[in-house]
């Protein structure tokens, strides 16, 4: 197979979710609708938190950042997909592909770290309520947010620079609707051992460890809730972290589901379809989850759905 240096590669071909022409209008309106719901829903959560002084607490500070990250996470992939469908072009430039891959990993990592920080916030609030405002002070919250950004930037930048060093063959078709890291590595003609090693190490350190932190936090939370004598007190304590637990389950559940399905099916197109769950569906559902389960947001009526208070 002819090999050419990565400096000569000018573009890639994104094959998308389907090559059936009749399905393209349906896919366009489906993803356009989901993107609008995701953007408007998360934006309204941000506006609700910013405009209401009662919501200026650590929990809502991290929630507003999560909503912002969800908007950016979806915006890295869906608009380009919609543009390709509308223009009937599947081309993405080499630079555009690397940029898309970088920001996708950046905001995906931020989602992961913010969910971990939010679990720690709930742990402190429920297990150490008397010291909550002392521990989760504005300075410490800012440090936690900065750490999330730094870790995500370093991780995504490392992978992006390592892909930049690869040489690519003449086969430049990506069986996906965005430039996904593993798909890029599979197209390379040069040795990818270090790239794969970096993926496994990053998945272990930056993926598994935060999940362990979340599970540890909730194990302590459950233990503390069970010590509460009244059922009303137990319900009130659990209701403060119910929304976050639902989002964590959705985020990690869809992520692991995509990983297992791609491993079992060995089909890149099927894996691309499965990845829609965590790249598009999960950010779209987050505003619904917080709007339906969060009492403060329901009472103030700031969410785009008019939900009566219970």
Question: Per-residue pLDDT tens for 157-184?
Answer: 999 999 999 988 877 889 889 999 988 9
Reading phi first (left if > 0) and then psi (alpha if -120 to 50, else beta), residue 11 is in beta
**Whole-prediction pTM:** 0.90
Residues 6-27 as b/e (b if ≥16 CB within 10 A, e otherwise) read beebeebebbbbeeeeeebeeb
pLDDT at residue 297, rounded to an integer? 67
pLDDT at residue 119, rounded to an integer? 95
* Percent of the chain residues topping a pLDDT of 90: 54
Average model confidence (pLDDT) across the chain: 86
Please check whether residue 162 is in contact with residue 198, taking contact to mean a CB–CB distance below 8 angstroms: yes
Distances (CA, A) of 18 to 176, 178, 179, 226: 9, 13, 16, 50
**Residue 4 scores a pLDDT above 80:** no
Q: From the CB of residue 4, how many other CB atoms can be counted at a distance below 10 Å? A: 13
Which of 92, 86, 90 has the alpha carbon at shortest distance from 24? 86
Highest mean pLDDT among 8-17, 52-61, 131-140, 276-285: 131-140
Categorize the per-residue pLDDT at 261 as very low, low, confident or very high, splitting at 50, 70 and 90.
low
Categorize the per-residue pLDDT at 8 as very low, low, confident or very high, splitting at 50, 70 and 90.
low
173-174 vs 11-14, strand pairing mode:
parallel
pLDDT at residue 265, rounded to an integer? 59
168-169 vs 173-174, strand pairing mode:
unpaired
Q: Mean per-residue pLDDT for 270-291?
A: 85
Categorize the per-residue pLDDT at 103 as very low, low, confident or very high, splitting at 50, 70 and 90.
very high
Please check whether residue 170 is in contact with residue 9, taking contact to mean a CB–CB distance below 8 angstroms: no
pLDDT at residue 298, rounded to an integer? 62
Angle at 153 between CA 152 and CA 155, to 5 degrees: 65
pLDDT at residue 299, rounded to an integer? 62
pLDDT: which is higher, 199 or 292 = 199
**Residue 309 scores a pLDDT above 80:** no
């Amino acid at each position: 197979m002819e090999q050419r240096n990565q400096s000569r590669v000018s573009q890639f071909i994104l094959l998308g979710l389907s090559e059936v022409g009749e399905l393209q209008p349906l896919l366009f309106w489906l993803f356009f609708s989901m993107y609008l719901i995701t953007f408007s829903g998360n934006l309204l959560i941000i506006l609700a938190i910013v405009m209401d002084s009662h919501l200026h607490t650590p929990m809502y500070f991290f929630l507003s950042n999560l909503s912002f990250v969800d908007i950016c996470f979806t915006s890295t992939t869906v608009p380009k997909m919609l543009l390709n469908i509308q223009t009937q072009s599947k081309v993405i430039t080499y630079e555009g592909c690397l940029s898309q891959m970088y920001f996708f990993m950046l905001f995906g990592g931020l989602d992961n770290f913010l969910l971990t920080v939010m679990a720690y916030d709930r742990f402190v609030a429920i297990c150490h309520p008397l010291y909550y405002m002392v521990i989760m002070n504005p300075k410490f919250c800012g440090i936690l947010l900065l750490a999330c950004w730094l870790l995500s930037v370093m991780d995504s930048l490392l992978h992006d620079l390592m892909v930049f060093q690869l040489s690519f063959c003449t086969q430049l078709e990506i069986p996906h609707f965005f430039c996904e890291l593993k798909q890029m590595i599979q197209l390379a003609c040069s040795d990818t051992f270090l790239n794969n090693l970096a993926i496994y190490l990053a998945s272990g350190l930056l993926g598994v460890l935060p999940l362990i932190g979340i599970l540890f936090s909730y194990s302590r939370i459950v233990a503390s809730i069970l010590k509460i004598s009244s059922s009303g007190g137990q319900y009130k304590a659990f209701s403060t972290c119910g929304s976050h637990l639902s989002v964590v389950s959705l985020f990690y559940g869809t992520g692991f589901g995509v990983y297992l399905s791609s491993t079992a099916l060995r089909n890149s197109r099927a894996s691309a379809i499965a990845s829609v769950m965590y790249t598009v569906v999960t950010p779209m559902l987050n505003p619904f989850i917080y709007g339906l389960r969060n009492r403060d947001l329901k009472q103030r009526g700031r969410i785009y759905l008019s939900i009566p208070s219970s």
